[in-house]
Amino acid sequence: MSSDDEREERELDLTSPEVVTKYKSAAEIVNKALQLAISECKPKVKIVDICEKADSYIREQSGNMYKNVKKKIERGVAFPTCVSVNNTVCHFSPLASDESVLEEGDVVKIDMGCHIDGFIAVVGHTHVLQLGPVTGRAADVIAAANTAAEVALRLVRPGKKNKDVTEAIQKVAAAYDCKIVEGVLSHQLKQFVIDGNKVILSVSNPDTRVDDAEFEENEVYAVDIFTSTGEGKPKLLDEKTTTIYKRAVDKNYHLKMKSSRFIFSEINQKFPIMPFSARALEEKRARLGLVECVNHDLLQPYPVLHEKPGDCVAHIKFTVLLMPNGSDRITSHALQELQPTKTIDDPEIKAWLALGTKTKKKGGGKKKKAKKAGEKAEDATEAEPMDATEAEPMDATTNGATAV
Asked if 194 contacts 275 with a C-beta cutoff of 8 angstroms, the reply is: yes
Beta carbons within 10 angstroms of residue 241's beta carbon: 18
CATH of the domain at 56: 3.90.230.10
289 shares a domain with 180: no
Whether residues 138 and 252 share a domain: the answer is: no
What are the start-end ranges of the E strands in 134-241? Answer: 134-135, 179-180, 185-189, 199-201, 220-228, 235-236
Whether 370 is in a domain gets the answer: no
Confidence category of residue 385, pLDDT binned at 50, 70, 90:
very low
Whether residues 229 and 274 fall in one domain: no
Q: Looking at the structure, do residues 67 and 88 belong to the same domain, yes or no?
A: yes
In this structure, the answer to whether residues 92 and 225 fall within a common structural domain is yes
**Weakest mean pLDDT among 66-75, 119-128, 295-304, 367-376:** 367-376
Range of the domain at 206: 17-239+305-354
241 residue type, one letter: T
Residues with Cβ within 8 Å of 214's Cβ and at least 6 positions away in sequence, in order, are 158, 159, 160, 161, 162
Distance between CA atoms of residues 131 and 126, nearest Å? 15
Residues 109, 198, single domain; the answer is: yes
CA-wise closest residue to 357 among 211, 156, 181: 156
Closest residue by Cα to residue 329 from 321, 337, 339: 321
* 3-state SS record for 255-320: CCCHHHHHHHHHHHHHCCCCCEEHHHCCHHHHHHHHHHHHHCCCEEEECCEECCCCCCEEEEEEEE
Residues 206, 288, single domain; the answer is no
- Position with higher pLDDT, 71 vs 45: 45
| Nearest alpha-carbon partner for 113 in 319, 367, 290 | 319
Residue 382 within any structural domain of the chain: no
Question: What pTM, to 2 d.p., does this model score?
Answer: 0.88
> What's residue 72's pLDDT?
87
Write the CB contacts of 40 (distance below 8 Å, at least 6 apart in sequence): 49, 50, 53, 54
Cα radius of gyration rounded to whole Å, the chain: 21
Strands 338-339 and 134-135: parallel
Q: Look at residue 398 and tell me if it is in a domain.
A: no
Is pLDDT at 367 greater than 50 in this prediction?
A: no
The burial of 298, by beta-carbon neighbours within 10 Å (0-12 exposed, 13-18 middle, 19 or more buried), is given as buried
Residue 92 has pLDDT above 90, yes or no: yes
pLDDT at 397 over 80: no
Asked whether residue 320 is assigned to any structural domain, the reply reads yes
Q: Does a structural domain hold residue 126?
A: yes
- Whether residues 268 and 149 fall in one domain: no
Pairing of strands 305-306, 235-236: antiparallel
183 and 312 fall within a common domain: yes
316: pLDDT strictly greater than 60: yes
State whether 129 and 163 are in the same domain: yes
The larger pLDDT score, comparing residue 219 to residue 67, is at 219
Q: Has residue 298 got a pLDDT over 80?
A: yes
CB count, 10 Å around CB of 145? 32
Taking residues 27-46, report their average pLDDT.
98
Least confident among 196-210, 223-237, 303-317, 343-357 = 196-210
Model confidence at 249, pLDDT cuts 50, 70, 90, reads confident
**Residue 286 predicted with pLDDT over 90:** no
Asked, for residue 373, whether it belongs to a domain, the answer is no
Who wins on pLDDT, 256 or 375? 256
In a domain, 22, yes or no: yes
Q: Which tens digit of pLDDT belongs to each residue from 340-354?
A: 999 999 999 999 999
Q: Per-residue pLDDT averaged across 39-64, rounded? A: 98
Question: Is the pLDDT at 112 greater than 50, yes or no?
Answer: yes
Look at the chain and report how many structural domains it folds into: 2
CATH number at residue 256: 1.10.10.10
What is the band of 358 on the pLDDT scale with cuts at 50, 70, 90? confident
Of the candidates 147, 152, 150, the residue with the CA atom closest to the CA atom of residue 175: 147
| pLDDT value, residue 392 | 54
Q: Is residue 378 part of a domain?
A: no
Average pLDDT of the residues of the chain: 88
With a cut of 70, say whether residue 314 has pLDDT above it: yes
142 and 159 co-located in one domain: yes
Q: What's the mean pLDDT in 224-231?
A: 98
Tell whether the model's pLDDT for residue 302 goes beyond 80: yes
Whether 122 and 209 map to the same domain: the answer is: yes
